[in-house]
Amino acid sequence: MREQIKLVAEELLIKHGYRGLSFRQISEVLNTTRANLHYHFGSKDGLVEEVLEDYADKTIAFYRDIWTDNTTTLRKKVTSVIAHARQRYQNYNPSGSHGEPWSLLIRLRTDSDALTPKMRAKLRDCTVEFETLVRVGVRSALQSGELEADAPQEQIVIQLVNIIHYAGSITRDHGSFDRLAQLWEATLSTIERAYGRKTAKTKQTART
């Protein structure tokens, strides 16, 4: 029952946010009593804190597998991130042409002022962790020679991390996932043209 409650709460939180979630909604979906929800989690805050903790840990583990894999290229890493985000988006936007929320982390950031200190701390920790993992991936691309040695690592990290953080806002404002995918491609292509292996060869040819 605890896991069922958390699954329903996660879906409702993504759709309606922290302020829009109530025990009444959850009890109606699960055909149980609000007293049962209080029995398992004590309060709405206790439930949301646990749901956020589980969701954040799973998301970070997924990103860690992608960004710390030194056998894949930066483009492959980004492709995996896009595929994961697209799947999440389609879960909440099955027609593919709406701007409904699809990420719990992004959704809760919009309700930051109403969250408990523990929730806000978890969101901050995720932000730091995402940046650290992307930095590992970019450093790997530099070490492997995929990117030139003089590529501005921190500037590249900032560009990539910001797309991750604001992905939900982009799909919401444009009403589709396509704009987000286009932004990823435009950013990555620019990085590759400026600092990829081909650029190094072009510069060498120009000098000779």
Return the residue matching tokens 């939900």. 168
Taking residues 91-108, report their average pLDDT: 90
* 112-134 confidence digits (pLDDT tens): 999 999 999 999 999 999 999 99
Report the distance separating Cα 106 and Cα 121, nearest Å: 14
The whole domain housing 151 covers 53-207
Judge whether 162 lies within some domain.
yes
Find the largest Cα–Cα distance for the chain. 78
How far does Cα 94 stand from its chain's mean position? 19
The larger pLDDT score, comparing residue 116 to residue 99, is at 116
- Taking alpha carbons only, the member of 41, 44, 40, 52 closest to residue 10 is 52
Judge whether 16 lies within some domain.
no
Judge whether 114 lies within some domain.
yes
- Taking alpha carbons only, the member of 28, 29, 21 closest to residue 47 is 21
Report the distance separating Cα 182 and Cα 101, nearest Å: 19
Judge whether 90 lies within some domain.
yes
How many structural domains are present in the chain? 1
Judge whether 181 lies within some domain.
yes
Report the distance separating Cα 31 and Cα 16, nearest Å: 20
- Model confidence at 46, pLDDT cuts 50, 70, 90, reads very high
Taking residues 72-77, report their average pLDDT: 97
Q: What does the pLDDT read at residue 95?
A: 84
Taking residues 91-120, report their average pLDDT: 92
Judge whether 46 lies within some domain.
no
Domain with residue 124: its CATH number is 1.10.357
Judge whether 45 lies within some domain.
no
- pTM across the whole model: 0.89
Judge whether 8 lies within some domain.
no
The token pair at 135 is 């930095």
- Model confidence at 88, pLDDT cuts 50, 70, 90, reads very high
Q: What does the pLDDT read at residue 97?
A: 76
Task: Say whether pLDDT at 202 is over 80.
Answer: no
